[in-house]
Amino acid sequence: PTLMDNLPNTIAEAMACGVPCVAFNVGGVPQMVDTGVNGYLAAYCNSLDFAHGIAATLNSQSYAAMCRNARAKALKAYDEKAVAKAYAAVYAME
């Protein structure tokens, strides 16, 4: 797990593959992962909470929905068209 990252590629890539993510609540990760929706956010540097998040995610009755939600969020927020549009908007502000 990352201890400091603003937009981890590994999370975006996993989500694009439909994999719910378990990560520490740090940096930009909370904008990517929503507990119970597409993964689990563990308390920063709390390995017990991280382990709980893994078990809770894998054993969740809504695991299939979490997989679909992860992929949907990745396609909406992190595909090349969405990223290009966001960059264009930033440069248009100048």
Predicted confidence at residue 5, as pLDDT, reads 85
Give residue-wise pLDDT tens across range 47-87: 999 999 999 999 999 999 999 999 999 999 988 888 898 88
Q: What distance in Å separates the CA atoms of residue 24 and residue 40, rounded to the nearest whole number?
A: 8
What residue segments make up the domains of the chain, in order of their start? 9-92
Predicted confidence at residue 2, as pLDDT, reads 76
3-state secondary structure of 26: coil
The CATH number corresponding to 9-92 among 3.40.50.2000, 3.30.499.10, 3.40.50.1860, 2.40.50.140 equals 3.40.50.2000
DSSP tally for the chain: helices H, then strands E? 4, 2
Predicted confidence at residue 86, as pLDDT, reads 86
Give residue-wise pLDDT tens across range 15-27: 999 999 999 999 9
Structure tokens at 24: 């520490």
